[in-house]
Structures are given as structure tokens and as C-alpha cells.
Amino acid sequence: MAHIKETRRELALDCCLLAGKIMMESGAETYRVEDTMMRMAVSQNMMNAHCFVTPTGIMFSPSDELATRFVRISSRKTDLEQVALVNSVSRKLVSGEFSLQEAYEEMQVIDKTNYSFSMRLQVLAAATASGCFLILMGGDWSDLPFAFLFGGIGYLIVDIILAQTRVKIFSEFIAAFVIAALALAVVRAGLGTNLDTLIIGSLMPLVPGLLITNAVRDLMAGHFVSGLSNGAEAFLTAFAIGAGVALVLSF
Amino acid sequence: MNWPLEAFLSFIAAASFGIIFNAPRRTLLSCGLVGMSGWLIYRSYFLMFDDSVQASFAGAFVVALVAHILAKKFRMPMIIFSIAGIIPLVPGSKAYNAMRNIVENKYLDAIAFASEALMISGAVAMGLVFAEVLMQLFFRQQAKRTQRKIGMTRT
């Protein structure tokens, strides 16, 4: 009997950690990850649970008797679909709609499935967003096809180089450099009219909007370690983009 | 200002960012709606009072407000809706101008642009947090009222 109880608590512990890991890897705010994990823990009768979530690792101590566990988070991407799915599983577990076993199996399926839109659609979306921002920022209508093209190219370059090198800053730097160089070439050739709005519009898909928002939200919620590290990542991204453009403009 | 055109463009832009961030498929239209409302408030405030910092605050406030309402409706985390809406308010052009002036050795102009970009990002953050705190207070009051109505006491 005691043995069954013990494995059940181990399963609850695994379930909490897996939920936290998926959410953190998909770009949820730290305070939300902690909140979700604590709710799940309380629903499984772990009253003295404590967790400490940072963007690079999760520590979770379920109770006085069970050992503290640690999960390393090595890669982070933005996948809001996974955040939403894990959130709904944890809601169902807390409300009693799912048993612990069901929730754990569901979570493992979520972890293994790739929910992303196809790369072609993502590039198309980035290109469309660039075109829209060009007009919203007061750019010229004749620049629209270039912004559309360069926005898509920039997004594609980030994806390809990130897959090859695993260095995010480098891929963003190269993408910004290529976009600025293309824009400069088009304007020098007399095809484009306004260099500034063309570059700004095409760079919009690379802007670290999620990181900035998360950093501020975490700082305000009192999670200073995650807030500062998210802020550092956002700053590095902005710096890489800026350096890439600056390199072209200095010619 | 061409209202229908800007509304349309900001809607499409925010929905595209929903695709880039892989928002759940049935929330894409709502993401676009959040982005559109935030941008229209930002633009109209900017045209009325000519202050981009206050306008960004107002825009971010509305984004968070609409995102919170949609999050309650869809029963999903608020981040899904607010991210796409915040992107148009990010001071990309100010940051770009700051960097461009640095490259051209005009450091004083660069500092002016950079501090403006910093002020705008701060205003966006404050707008988000203010709206969220306000909504939490509102919903807590509402929950209390319904509990009283059905004769429940807070435990």
C-alpha cells in the first residue's frame, strides 16, 4: 500500500515537472509557470511544495520527505499553442476532470508533438507583417513589394542559421545585415524610395517583443532572476539586430 | 489618417505575428483584434495629443484590457493574446534612428532617440501591468459579489 502511494507521488512530481518544462520551453512567463506547477501540486496533496523557475532551469521540492528534483531547460522557442494546451490539461487535472495518469500521458503527447505552422506559412506571415508595418510606419507604397520580400528573407535566414549553428545572436546579426544590405542596394539602384522605413518594416519580425514583455511581467511579479535574464536576452537580440544594420549603414 | 486602412493593416500584422508565435488556430482572429484595437488607440491618442510616450501607454493599456477579456472568454493564458498586440507598439523606428545616428557620429541626437525609445518601452510595460492589476481587482470584486448572491461565504 505504501509502495503504491509512493509511486503515485513520484508520478505527480514528474507531471508537475513536465508541465513546467514544456511551458518554459514554449515561452510562457515565469510567474505563470510557477503558478501552474503550484496549483497542480496542491491538487495532488503536496501542500508544502516549493518551486523555483528560471529561464534555464526548474527546481521543484514536492514535500519534506520526497527528494528535490531539477530540470534543465536548454532550448527556448515561442510556441503559444503548447502553452495553451498544457494550461488546459492542468486546469482539467485541478478540477478533477483528468486523473493523474491521463494528465501525464496527455502532457507527454504534447511534449512530443510539433504544433508549429509550416515553415512556408511562417515565412509568408513574416513577409505580410513586414509589408503591413511598412505602411503603418508611414512608408511609401512603392516600397511595399521590397519590404514583403526582405521580411520573408530575413525570417528564413534566422531559421536556417539557427538550425545550423545554434547561436541565436549570430543568426539575428546575419539576418539584419542581409536585410539592410538588400534595402540599401534597392534604394541605391533607384527602385526603393525611403531606406529608413524599408529597413524598419523588414526588421519587425525579428524584434524580441515576447522577451521584452515577459521580462517586464516577471520583474513586476517579483521574479527578479528570470526578469533580468529575459531582459538580457532581449537586449542581446536588439544589440545583434542593431549591429547588423549599423555595419551596413556605416559604408 | 486613413482609419479603415490602418485598422485593416494592423489587424493583418497582428494576426501574422500570431502565426509566427504559433498561437492556437482558433485564436488568430482574436490576436488580430487585440493588435488592431491597441494600434488604433495608440494612433488616435498620438494624433490628438502628439505625445508618443503617453500614446504607447494608452495603447498597451487597451491591449492588456482586451487580451484579459479574451483570455477569460477562451480560458487560455493572457500572453497568447497580448504578445501579438504589443508588437506594433514596440519603438522600432526610435531604436533604429538612435543607432543610425551613432553610426553617423551624431551622439547627441542618438541619445535623444535612445532615451525616447527607453521611455516608450517603459510606458508600454506600465500600461500592460496597470491594466492587469485593474482587471484582477475588478474580477475579484465580481467573484465576491456572485458568491454573496448565491449565499456562499469565503473560506
- CA A181, A182, A186, A189 dihedral sign is positive
The answer to whether A69 touches A85, Cβ cutoff 8 Å, is no
Domain spans of chain A, in order of start:
2-112, 119-249
User: How far is residue B100's CA from residue A196's CA, in Å, rounded to a whole number?
Assistant: 9
**Bridge partner list, A69:** A60
| pLDDT higher than threshold 80 for residue A163 | yes
Q: Do A87 and B6 touch (CB under 8 A)?
A: no
Closest residue of chain B to A88, computed from CA coordinates: B76
pLDDT at B155: 46
Q: Which of A34, A80, A220 to mutate to test the interface with B (most CBs of B within 10 A)?
A: A80
Q: Are the beta carbons of A142 and A193 closer than 8 angstroms?
A: yes
Question: Each residue's pLDDT tens digit in chain B (155 positions)?
Answer: 688 999 999 999 999 999 998 999 889 999 999 999 999 999 999 999 989 999 999 999 999 999 999 998 988 888 889 888 888 888 888 888 888 888 888 999 999 999 998 899 889 888 988 998 898 888 888 888 887 777 665 44
For the stretch A180-225, pLDDT in tens is 999 999 999 988 888 889 999 999 888 887 787 788 778 887 889 8
Distance CA A83, CA A210 (A): 14
Residues 6+ apart with CB under 8 A from A47: A63
Instruction: Give the confidence band of A167 by pLDDT, cuts at 50, 70, 90.
Output: confident
Residues facing A61 on adjacent strands: A50
DSSP A50: E
pLDDT for B94: 87
What tens digit of pLDDT does each residue of A101-151 get? 888 899 999 988 888 888 899 999 999 999 999 998 888 888 899 999 999
- The DSSP secondary-structure symbol of B41 reads H
Predicted pLDDT at A49: 87
A86-113 per-position pLDDT tens digit: 999 999 998 888 888 888 899 999 988 8
CA distance B105 to chain A (A): 10
Q: In terms of Cα–Cα distance, which of B18, B16, B10, B60 is closest to B35?
A: B10
Q: What is the pLDDT of residue B29?
A: 92
- The residue extents of the domains of chain B are 3-149
- Sort out which chain A residues have CB atoms less than 8 A from B6's CB and list them: 136
- Name chain A contacts of B17, Cβ cutoff 8 Å: 125, 129, 205, 209
Write down the pLDDT at residue A48: 85
Nearest to B90 by CA among A217, A162, A211, A228: A211
Residue type, A176: A
